[in-house]
Amino acid sequence: MTAMRNSQSRAGTGFLAYGRRLSTLWRIIAYRWYWLGSATQGLAQATQFLVIGWLVLEVTGSSVQLGLVVSIYGVPNVAFLLIAGVIADRFDRRYIIMFTQVVAGGLLAVLAFLTATDLVAVWHIYVAAAFLGAAQSISVPARMSVIADLVEERSILDAIAMQNAAVHAGRIMGPPIAGIIIEVWGLHESLLVVAGCYIVSVACVAKIGPIRRAAPSIAKSVFRNFADGIIYIKKTPVILTSIVITCSFGGFGMSHLQVLPAMAKDTLGIGAADIGLLLLASGIGSFIGSFILPFIGRDQVYRSLLICLVLFAAFLTLFAWSNWFWVTWMFFLFVGVVSVGMVWPLATTIIQLESAPELRGRVSAVLSFTPGFHFLGAFPLALAAGVWGWEIAITGAAGASLFVTIWFALVRSGAPKLRSTAPEAT
């Protein structure tokens, strides 16, 4: 009984401490506006792939074409990221975020017009996907690294967790609503709603106001700035390892998320509304994962990242082989908890804590290859599914992600120790 009371006391103390940390965080007005902007941006981004994916299937009827469109989105996501990191370290990150959101909203509005007038062709979607990918690649390093400009270092993990929760709140609400709008009104109405969310996000970011940040390295060339970031990563084992295993997780494991409409249609025989419900499971899981994060100590962040990657591979494999909708829904929820809910913010936290402030944008840009790779991985995954079936294709992708994690983080010479992140300040 005494042990139980002590355990309950520690839990209560932990929740009180967590509440005090969040209270400190929410008193920062600039962070509150950033959080609201992240929520509406997350709503838009989570919804756009369901809507565009369904549009591709309506226009072409081909899951391979859907994979190709997602990969076209992914190419500029990868191609521009390193330059985007230099941009994030040289210019005001608020303006970078606002500009890219305006571009994304405008592209979706044009696509909505073409859809409403029955003029849309698959090449229009190719072009929109390419420019959306470019805008996203420029936005991500600025969006990631601006957190450390808004809050104190001791609040970074909490700030990332809450920002993640905001994005996942959008992922919870967006896809089911979009699925209903598609089936009740139509695709062009859904595209307009997504475009409107991007514009609301711009207005929120505009309210942040001036922010403190490290002095930009304008005396050096863009190439020298880029090279400095790569050299820094190579010389920092925990950053290098975190980036490699997280990018592998993105390229292999997360590629399924972008072709989910085709997979669900083929294996479960469901429509847009039910696909939105399936994506709701991932959003809820991610949201849950975000609230687990603040209970992880700073000295356990790297270890927790590895554990989540192993669990992710297991849950994704179970998800791939399930043929019953609600069982599939439950496995997808668990995938959401450990993947987008925990892997990505844990890796982001490591980068924020371990990177020098003047290099944070460039290091964040390299980590941002992760979403770029899972867009690029969608096309080969769809091709593999066409040959062997979705079950084998996704299981193979999960296995590849697990192999890279185990080898690079635990087996190879030079892998960092499990307690590699800085101890929590007292």
The count of other CB atoms within 10 Å of the CB of residue 388 is 12
Given a contact cutoff of 8 angstroms between Cβ atoms, the answer to whether 22 and 165 are in contact is no
> Tens-digit pLDDT profile for the chain (426 aa)?
444 344 444 444 556 766 777 777 788 888 889 888 888 888 888 788 778 888 888 888 777 787 788 778 877 777 776 677 778 777 788 889 999 999 999 999 999 999 888 888 889 999 998 999 888 888 877 887 788 778 777 777 778 778 777 776 776 777 677 777 777 787 888 888 889 989 999 999 988 877 765 545 555 555 666 677 778 888 888 888 888 898 888 888 888 877 787 788 788 887 777 877 887 888 788 878 877 877 777 778 888 999 999 999 999 999 999 888 899 999 999 998 998 788 888 888 888 778 776 777 677 777 777 766 777 777 788 889 888 999 999 999 999 999 999 998 888 876 677 554 544 433
Task: Show Cβ contacts of residue 408 under 8 Å, excluding neighbours closer than 6 positions.
Answer: 241, 244, 245, 248, 415
pLDDT of residue 1: 45
- Please give the structure tokens belonging to residue 216: 């930009």
Distance CA 130, CA 7 (A): 53
Give the integer Cα–Cα distance in Å for 410 and 171. Answer: 33
pTM flag (> 0.75) = no
The candidate with the shortest Cα–Cα distance to 261, out of 190, 195, 384, 175, is: 175
Smallest Cα–Cα separation from 289: which of 321, 333, 254, 327?
A: 333
Q: Which of 321, 349, 402, 370 is nearest to 161 (CA)?
A: 349
Residue 160: its pLDDT value, please? Answer: 78
CATH top-level class for 23-209+221-411? mainly alpha
- Cβ atoms 37, 201 nearer than 8 A: yes
Give the per-residue pLDDT at 277: 82
Evaluate the CA torsion angle 130, 134, 137, 139 in order and state its sign.
negative
pLDDT of residue 366: 73
In the chain, what is the straight-line distance between the N-terminal and C-terminal CA atoms, in Å?
Answer: 31
Q: Specify the pLDDT at position 344.
A: 80
Domain spans, the chain:
23-209+221-411
**Cα separation, 155 vs 81, whole angstroms:** 26
Cα(1)–Cα(17) distance, rounded to whole angstroms?
24
Q: Tell me what pLDDT residue 310 has.
A: 94
In 3D space, the residue among 255, 232, 256 whose CA is nearest the CA of residue 354 turns out to be 232
Query: How high is the pLDDT of residue 372?
Result: 66
